[in-house]
Amino acid sequence: MPLLHIAGRWRAGRHERRHTVFDPSCGQPIGELGLANGADIDEALAAAESGFAAWRQVPAFKRGEALLAAARRLQQRGEEIATLLTREQGKPLAEARSEIAGTVQVIQWYAEESRRSYGRIIPPRVPGSALQVLREPVGPCAAFSPWNFPLMLSSRKIAGALAAGCSVVLKAAEETPASVAAMVDCFLASGLPDGALQLLYGVPEEVSRRLLGSPIIRKLSFTGSVPVGRELARLAADQLQRVTLELGGHAPVLVFADANLDAAVVQLAGAKFRNAGQICAAPTRFLVERSVHDAFLERMAAACEQLRLGPGLAPGSTLGPLASARRQAAMQPLVDDALANGARLVVGGTRPEGQGFFYRPTLLADVPTQARAMGTEPFGPLVLTRPFDTEAEAIAVANGTRMGLAAYLYTDSASRQARLVPALRTGMVAINHASVSSPEAPFGGVGDSGYGSECGVEGLDAYLQPKFVHQFPAFDGTPPRISP
């Protein structure tokens, strides 16, 4: 199946270069992807312009219905698409199913919220006049999504833009093309006009330069690495495109002695090893009150030992491979550097023999703050722990990176919860719980984690532009007095 969708038609890209797609569980090629060339990208831009003109005219209620139909289709095709996702991304099949279930909920939420994107009426200063605020779609959007949660993260952008009445050109990750194409097909089959949604794969820097260099694009949404985010923000500045950037994190976890340690470790191990640790909001720096640090290590080591490393499609695998040889190769230097800096290896620390991009679940204790892994997002199955003695010390370490996406706090003390939430420099905080993602709530960070939010009303607002209308029913010749 050709995997680009441009101007209402599926077709192959015409670039002279092609991209090889790998199965991460064996490291073998599973397909060749035709990439978009300059002319393909220009066609996508022109189609997005005409698609926007058509889609913005569709009433919000109808747009919501189309999105709900897309969500139903995705649900119906769940098993087929989950298998595609596991084959090209590597995650265990159960996790692929759960990504689809979460994606369906995101689309449903945007579909429902699109019906509630009301404007407002402001009481006027001049009797007889009206102050209205309308909310209009910002225009054609360029969206760039990564390979770790290709469906979930693409859906946040597609559904947000479409719900608001915008058209979208999505450049999804070349590493995971088939699952996203199948999801895009679910949207297209649900009554979108031609041009409302395009899907491109290409040479990433060529696609971003061409899309963001065009005055047609009015909004950029990107999820991925910090350096690429910075580069895209620079490109967007030239055309003054609005920007949402979700650039990952390095989440601190603060575990206090008064927390339920057993429950905390079960939740945190689940969150850490989900998708082999390749999640921007994954708990990463585990700061544990000294009196319970050893007990925490013992429980976390047991949780690591219970994981079954294996191909995502093999029954019983609970930890799949990393998504690429590049990600696998990034693990050992981080582990070796932590050990060279004085960290203690408790579990794992190596890749297994054999094919595939696997890395063992790894638990490193007493990791000094100067270790590279404590500042660079590991994006892999590494648990890094350190004991702390005081709340102030825990906060200082937690806030010690330039990233600020999520933080996790385990304590039963209400007064400590109240003190620590404002002290943590992150866009999201979970308390006695290991998830910060919900379709109804804004997902986003501060500092090098980027800016703007996806999901929640904030996620829809990102695709809407307020228009103020100051209306006098008739002009009677008297200049209105607005100022007091």
Interacting residue ranges for ligand NAD, rule: CB under 6 A: 144, 146-148, 173-175, 204-205, 208, 223-225, 228, 231-232, 246-248, 280, 326-327, 377, 379
Per-residue tokens: 260:
């339920």
Least separation in angstroms between residue 223's CB and ligand LPHHDBUD is: 6
Residue found by looking up tokens 């290409």 in the block: 202
Contact (CB, 8 A) for 455 and 443: yes
- DSSP 3-state assignment of 365? strand
Helix extents (H) in 356-436? 391-398, 414-423
Distances from the Cα of 205 to the Cα of 22, 65, 324, 342, angstroms: 21, 35, 19, 39
Told to check if 359 binds ligand LPHHDBUD by CB under 6 A, we report no
Told to check if 437 binds ligand LPHHDBUD by CB under 6 A, we report yes
The rounded distance, in Å, linking the Cα atoms of 447 and 257 is 30
Helix crossing, 93-114 with 150-164: angle to 10°?
Answer: 10
Q: 87 or 274: whose CB is closer to ligand LPHHDBUD?
A: 274
| Length of the chain counted residue by residue | 484
Residue 231 touches which member of ligand NAD, ligand LPHHDBUD, none, C-beta under 5-8 Å by kind: ligand NAD
DSSP secondary structure string for all residues of 119-179: -EEE--SSTT-EEEEEEEE---EEEE--SSSHHHHHHHHHHHHHHHT--EEEE--TTSHHH
Residue 155 touches which member of ligand LPHHDBUD, ligand NAD, none, C-beta under 5-8 Å by kind: none
Told to check if 267 binds ligand LPHHDBUD by CB under 6 A, we report no
Least separation in angstroms between residue 205's CB and ligand NAD is: 4
Least separation in angstroms between residue 463's CB and ligand LPHHDBUD is: 18
Closest CA to 445 of 152, 222, 249: 249
Helix crossing, 60-76 with 150-164: angle to 10°?
Answer: 160
Per-residue tokens: 108:
């449903």
Give the H or E element holding residue 198: strand 197-200
Residue 238 touches which member of ligand NAD, ligand LPHHDBUD, none, C-beta under 5-8 Å by kind: none
Residue 45 touches which member of ligand NAD, ligand LPHHDBUD, none, C-beta under 5-8 Å by kind: none
Residue 437 touches which member of ligand NAD, ligand LPHHDBUD, none, C-beta under 5-8 Å by kind: ligand LPHHDBUD
Least separation in angstroms between residue 47's CB and ligand LPHHDBUD is: 28
Helix extents (H) in 249-390? 261-273, 290-306, 325-340
Which residue out of 246, 289, 377, 454 is catalytically annotated? 246
Considering only residues 110 through 149, tell me which ones interact with ligand LPHHDBUD, judged by CB under 6 A: 148-149
Residue 205 touches which member of ligand NAD, ligand LPHHDBUD, none, C-beta under 5-8 Å by kind: ligand NAD
DSSP bridge pairs for 323: none
> Is 377 assigned a catalytic role?
no
Least separation in angstroms between residue 245's CB and ligand NAD is: 9
Least separation in angstroms between residue 152's CB and ligand LPHHDBUD is: 5
The rounded distance, in Å, linking the Cα atoms of 441 and 464 is 17
The rounded distance, in Å, linking the Cα atoms of 152 and 158 is 10
Considering only residues 54 through 113, tell me which ones interact with ligand LPHHDBUD, judged by CB under 6 A: 102
Q: What is the DSSP letter of 196?
A: S
Task: Determine the residue with CB nearest ligand NAD.
Answer: 225
Which residue out of 186, 280, 304, 455 is catalytically annotated? 280
Least separation in angstroms between residue 19's CB and ligand NAD is: 9
Told to check if 179 binds ligand LPHHDBUD by CB under 6 A, we report no
Residue 296 touches which member of ligand LPHHDBUD, ligand NAD, none, C-beta under 5-8 Å by kind: none
> Is 246 assigned a catalytic role?
yes
Contact (CB, 8 A) for 228 and 40: no
Residues at the interface with ligand LPHHDBUD (CB under 6 A): 102, 148-149, 152-153, 279-281, 437
Q: Which residues are catalytic?
A: 246, 280
